[in-house]
């Protein structure tokens, strides 16, 4: 394909997207107000997670400690996990719409939270990637929601986005499983490209961290590929006990 042809296709897609936006404007996934995937009023109700949190897994702590009980009981491979907001009400509906209702327009709205978190962090990141889906599941969904979040975050922060991982086998949906079953479900189910990650600090993006089992399995694969550090960042996590 010539550069001229490629440019014309991009322009055509841009105009098609604008036309669809005019004909079918986005509506807030929470209240239904037209204008945006998440309106300003609903965005303002999303509850951020405040300190103190565990420096390894991001679990909330009642008082500052070295690590939380879960990290002491199950030591983590991943360098650090952070989540920005609680997975309740508006945030939960937004994530559900992105994952299961083909609302891709929610991704840039949720990525704002990741961008803001990175802006105040001291992380030295070489590249950003999304937690991979199994190819059949991604084909059924039409996209990988973690990749969309990662791409918007990388673009906003001026960082490199790359697909550096893949799932080597199908796994059950983690939502059906308890913590132990989640770890077993994703064990040895991921592969990372050593040529792209060796010696680099990788930011691993996902929508929700529940037990951190998927992020931990990804980190194991990335460290096997000689990554220098692996940092997990998710939009939400459930409140303790939920």
Cis peptide leading into residue 56 (ω within 30°)? no
CA dist., res. 187 & res. 176, Å (int): 16
CB 81 within 8 Å of CB 212: yes
Asked if the model's pLDDT at residue 115 lies above 60, the reply is yes
Mean pLDDT throughout 139-168? 95
Q: How many residues does the chain have?
A: 242
Residues 197, 165 contacting (CB under 8 angstroms):
no
Contact 85, 110 (CB under 8 A): no
pLDDT category at 62 given cuts 50, 70, 90 is: confident
Between the ranges 8-12, 52-56, 198-202, where is the mean pLDDT highest?
198-202
Instruction: Compute and round to an integer the Cα radius of gyration of the chain.
Output: 18
Averaged pLDDT for residues 216-235: 96
> Vertex 115, ends 195 and 128: CA angle to 5°?
5
Encode pLDDT of 76-106 as tens digits: 899 999 999 999 999 999 999 999 999 999 9
Cα separation, 98 vs 205, whole angstroms: 15
Q: For residue 45, is pLDDT > 80?
A: yes
Enumerate the H helices of the chain as residue ranges: 3-23, 40-43, 69-73, 90-100, 106-120, 135-141, 145-157, 179-186, 194-197, 213-224
Distance of alpha carbon 225 from alpha carbon 147, whole angstroms: 20
State percent of the chain over pLDDT 70.
81
Q: At what angle do helices 213-224 and 179-186 cross, to 10 degrees?
A: 30
24 confidence band (pLDDT: 50, 70, 90): low
Rounded mean pLDDT, 181-209 = 87
- pLDDT reading at 3 higher than 80: no
Of 229, 235, 173, give the one whose Cα is nearest residue 206: 235
Say yes or no: domain 47-237 is CATH 3.40.50.2020: yes
Q: What integer best gives the mean pLDDT of the chain?
A: 86
Give 179's pLDDT tier (boundaries 50, 70, 90). low
| Residue 189 pLDDT > 80 | no
DSSP per position, 73-99 = HS--SSSEEEEEEESSTHHHHHHHHHH
State mean pLDDT over 118-144. 93
| Structure confidence at residue 10 (pLDDT) | 42
């Amino acid at each position: 394909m010539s550069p001229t042809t490629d440019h014309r296709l991009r322009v055509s897609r841009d105009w098609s997207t604008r036309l669809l936006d005019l004909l079918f404007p986005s509506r807030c996934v929470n209240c239904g107000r037209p204008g945006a995937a998440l309106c300003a009023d609903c965005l303002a109700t999303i509850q951020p997670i405040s300190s103190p949190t565990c420096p390894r897994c991001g679990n909330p702590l009642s008082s500052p400690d070295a690590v939380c009980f879960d990290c002491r009981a199950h030591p983590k491979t991943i360098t650090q996990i952070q989540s920005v907001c609680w997975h309740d009400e508006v945030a939960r509906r937004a994530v559900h719409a992105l994952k299961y209702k083909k609302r891709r327009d929610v991704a840039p709205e949720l990525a704002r939270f990741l961008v803001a978190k990175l802006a105040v962090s001291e992380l030295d990141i070489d590249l950003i990637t999304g937690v991979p889906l199994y190819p059949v599941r991604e084909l059924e969904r039409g996209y990988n929601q973690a990749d969309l979040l990662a791409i918007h975050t990388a673009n906003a922060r001026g960082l490199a986005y790359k697909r550096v991982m893949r799932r080597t086998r199908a796994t059950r949906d983690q939502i059906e499983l308890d913590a132990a079953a989640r770890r077993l479900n994703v064990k040895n189910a991921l592969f990372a490209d050593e040529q792209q990650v060796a010696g680099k600090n990788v930011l691993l993006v996902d929508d929700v961290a529940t037990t951190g089992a998927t992020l931990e399995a990804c980190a194991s694969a990335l460290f096997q590929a000689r990554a220098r550090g692996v940092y997990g960042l998710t939009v939400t996590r459930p409140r303790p006990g939920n």
